[in-house]
Amino acid sequence: MARAPLATEIEALPEADRLDDFPHPRETRGLFGQDVAQATLSEALASGRMHHAWLLSGPAGIGKATLAYQFARAALARPEERDLFGQGMAIEPNSPTDRQVRVLSHPGLLVIRRTCDPKTKRFSQTIAVDEVRRLRSFLALSPEEQGWRVVIVDSADDLNANAANALLKSLEEPPQRTIFLLITSAPGRLLATIRSRCRVVSATPLHETDLKRAAAQALTTAGKAVPEEHDWEALLPLAGGSVRRALTLIGGNGLAMQTRIDRILSGLPKLDLKSVHALADELQNPTQDPKFQLFFDLYQATLARLVSAQATGSGRGSDITLAHRLIGPDRLATFAELWETLARDKADATSLNLDRKSLIITSFTRLEAASRG
């Protein structure tokens, strides 16, 4: 009879919540810029009177998942693995609990997230109800004496309707000594009944110093070069306080892509169709998906900055100047609606696997039409 393959012989599946070859949040040691959120969870854990469900809310890529795994290690750690004074959430590096959490083998930890098909290596679009049903067998086991069990949902925004309702049942009847950590970048998309059963911990975008430290930590761990100071000056405004976004910009040569977008927009209301078609040809192949995603992220963010600059009169000087020229006081609603249309078209193209070249060209021609009034 053939033996079952050892864990080391099984090819590790990709993880939807891992960025390229950078450390996963559960492998990240230092957390920067979230002192208030850390203190809230740490104090609750030290008190022994933990609320059963927490909503870790804030923009994408600012450390919410890192905070969740940091908390999980502290909650699951044995007394001798914690710091001498029992304060904070740090535990002994490379202790049994630390190693088990890093490889997702701790019996007291369950992570619910989008799955990957081992044959196609493609991720599911949502978290299906079957993933949430894993709670049944997990919760059937008793926690260690005076210990906790931790459930991380990353991200709760990905739950489909059936999965959300299945999770709600567990939140309505919380199991003994079980803590739910729901990570969200869009809390308004969650069921109101789920939100009402959670205490909210708000994470905030990182200030420049913390963002540089966090990004440098990830780059160094991954064996990549840290940007020079003059590059940071251009990167930081585009990163918007998000470590994930900063790493994406660095790894995907985002500054060069932003320059191409800015050149096309600076020529409006006359559209440089040659440059648009060259960009669309370059990004239409599915193998260019990371670059395509980076382009649209930057394009949408640029349009959002221009709308904000026109509406508030604040922002970078170049954005204010371009916004006044393209949008003006009479077309603000048109451009705001254009941003929403762009977001819907991008979502449709992704879910329905539509032609990317057509999407890119159409998005620029609509922008040209709007700028002509």
pLDDT one-digit tens code per residue, 298-357:
999 999 999 999 999 998 899 999 999 999 888 999 999 999 999 999 988 887 888 999
For the stretch 60-70, pLDDT in tens is: 999 999 999 99
Per CATH, the number for 7-202 is: 3.40.50.300
Strand, helix or coil for residue 288: helix
For the stretch 263-286, pLDDT in tens is: 999 999 999 999 999 999 999 998
Helix (H) or strand (E) holding 54: strand 53-57
What is the value of pTM for the model shown?
A: 0.87
Strand, helix or coil for residue 127: strand
DSSP string, 109-125: EEEE---B-TTT--B-S
Distance (Å, rounded) from C-alpha 251 to C-alpha 5? Answer: 35
- Per-residue confidence (pLDDT) for residue 340, from 0 to 100: 93
Domain locations in the chain as residue ranges: 7-202, 252-372
In the 8-state DSSP scheme, what is residue 27? G
User: Which residues of the chain are under the pLDDT cut of 70?
Assistant: 1-12, 84-87, 145-146
- Per-residue confidence (pLDDT) for residue 14, from 0 to 100: 82
- Per-residue confidence (pLDDT) for residue 58, from 0 to 100: 97
- Per-residue confidence (pLDDT) for residue 159, from 0 to 100: 97
Q: How far is CA 59 from the centre of its chain?
A: 7
Phi first, then psi: what are they for 22, rounded to 5°? -80, 160
AA letter at 146: Q
In sequence order, what E strands does 90-234 have? Answer: 109-112, 149-154, 178-184, 199-202
Strand, helix or coil for residue 243: helix
- Per-residue confidence (pLDDT) for residue 4, from 0 to 100: 40
